[in-house]
Amino acid sequence: MIRDTFYIRPLSSFVIRFVADNPGVWFFHCHIEWHLIQGLALVLVEAPDEIQNTASQQLTDNHIQVCKNVGVPYVGNAAGNSENFLDLTGQNVQQQTIPTGFTKKGIIAMTFTCFSGVLGMVFLSIYGLMGIKSGEEIDYIEDLGIDPEELVEEEEIHTGYDYSHDSKGSDDFNSEKANDKKDDVVVNQVSHPTA
């Protein structure tokens, strides 16, 4: 028996046949972690008498000391019982299976997640429906040399807005910048005639 890996395609299976001629303890398992947790694994103990007589298969002094330090038995059966090998009281057992459906914590988490999502959408809707109300935002737009009322009208190109009047910029630079913006809008209006 040698170490090897088989790839199983979905909804398929395979049969493994081997000659048991390699003494040792072999762990046969699935490489998908949650399959392994659910028990898709087994331990093959091949030729246990030969294992006991093979020096390379014995525990090292270092390993024995580590087991003693952490309180893990290194003699006996799976429960560490060296008196009665059929008594498995106290052995390590597999974790319980994952409960089906929602648990209490899952229900609470899902409730608050949905509530947060709905609340977020409500606040986004309210924020989106609000107009420019604060003086700071209007002041910021005016600092750019643009009249807020003019900005709204320029975006509605089909309204027939009169672009010939002067900009209300605070200085010559801002006035020139606003006039350039108006010229751009006029060019756009001419180059994209409406039906």
pLDDT tens per residue across span 111-131: 999 999 999 999 999 888 876
pLDDT band at 188 (very low <50, low <70, confident <90, very high): very low
Contact assessment for residue 99 and residue 107, using Cβ atoms and an 8 Å cutoff? no
Measured CA to CA, the distance from residue 64 to residue 175 in angstroms comes to: 87
pLDDT at residue number 119: 97
Measured CA to CA, the distance from residue 107 to residue 118 in angstroms comes to: 17
Residue 127's Cα: distance from chain center in Å?
29
- Taking residues 151-178, report their average pLDDT: 51
Most confident of 85-94, 111-120, 145-154: 111-120
Which of the pair, 58 or 63, is modelled with greater confidence?
63
pLDDT at residue number 180: 52
pLDDT at residue number 110: 93
What letter would DSSP give residue 101?
A: S
Which of the pair, 160 or 8, is modelled with greater confidence?
8
What letter would DSSP give residue 93?
A: -
Rounded percentage of the chain residues whose pLDDT exceeds 70: 68
pLDDT at residue number 85: 87
- Taking residues 101-116, report their average pLDDT: 91
pLDDT band at 160 (very low <50, low <70, confident <90, very high): low
Residue 192 has pLDDT above 90, yes or no: no
pLDDT at residue number 195: 44
pLDDT at residue number 120: 95
